[in-house]
Amino acid sequence: MDAERETEELYLAGGCLWGVQAFVSTLPGVTSTEAGRANGAGGTLDGDYDGYVECVRTRFDPSVTSVERLMGHLFEIIDPYSVNAQGPDVGEKYRTGVYSADPAHLARARAFLSARDDADRIVVEVLPLVNYVRSAEEHQDRLARFPDDSCHLPDEVLTKYLDRPDSPAVIRSERVDARSHPTIRGIE
């Protein structure tokens, strides 16, 4: 990848961040991902729950993908009508949302939602990013490192875009051969 390529950031929440990060890291145009917490009241991982949402910091190349495409991909893995729950994961931290420090990103995300026929039923947050805390190392690329851990997303969804040769999920592990490791759960 070209280190000088311009990238933008969007923070995507779709339930448990392990599966969201595994999926998002394979998307066309995504250059890197990081598991974290958005819009909590605190700036650390310590202490009681502070209102944060589990999210994936998503860096992307705007010449390859867009906010609208990333929103479309997010909708492949979420139930956009579910409040504070995705799959078996229940609680405020598992709500769905899109967050950004760029007002243009938020406007485009809102336009994406408004254009849908089911817009009146969608409960996906679109809010300015006011706080972000990187998750502990044990949560970074969790499913790639611990393939037997549970995930609310099925393997066929997690691996839908894995065949991309420029996928950050593939690049992170030079030992990955897509033919010998057909699923993201096989990435070492």
Which listed residue (10, 12, 13, 16) is catalytic?
Answer: 16
Strand partners, 132: 38
User: CB within 8 A of 29, min separation 6: which ones?
Assistant: 60, 61, 62, 63, 64, 65, 69
- The backbone region for 154, taken as left when phi is positive above 0, alpha when psi lies in -120 to 50, beta otherwise, is beta
55 has catalytic annotation: no
Structure tokens at 173: 């592990």
Provide the CA 112 distance to its chain's centre, in angstroms. Answer: 17
Count other C-beta atoms under 10 Å from residue 174's C-beta.
Answer: 8
Residues annotated as catalytic (active site), given as ranges: 16
